[in-house]
Amino acid sequence: MEIDGMLFWNVLLTLVIAPAFWTFRQHTAEVKRLDILLNKTREELAKQYITKEEVHMDIGRVIDRLEALDAKLDRILELKGR
């Protein structure tokens, strides 16, 4: 009878606990993989955005160009008004 009890526990451990442990390891590995991919995605997204200084610099260039165009239009309108 003692051997049957040990056989029962060995079968239980083999057929129930071992696959559960294997599944847990697989899920843990997948979570690690997804964590790495998430971190890489965050790094790649950061490369696509610009800093505030770059925005201000670009807007400054646009405003300078608009002021130059405004000055040219003023001169053209002055010449036509004469």
DSSP at 17? I
Task: Name the band, by pLDDT with cuts 50, 70 and 90, for residue 6.
Answer: confident
**pLDDT of amino acid 2:** 64
Name the amino acid, one letter, at 38.
L
Condensed to tens digits (0 to 9), the pLDDT of residues 8-55 reads 888 888 888 888 999 999 999 999 999 999 999 888 877 778 888 999
**pLDDT of amino acid 31:** 97
Between 42 and 81, where is the model more confident? Answer: 42
Instruction: Report the alpha-carbon distance of residue 70 to residue 62 in Å, rounded.
Output: 12
Instruction: Report the alpha-carbon distance of residue 8 to residue 38 in Å, rounded.
Output: 44
Instruction: Report the alpha-carbon distance of residue 61 to residue 44 in Å, rounded.
Output: 27
Whole-model pTM? 0.47
Among candidate residues 31, 11, 7, the one with its CA nearest the CA of residue 19: 11
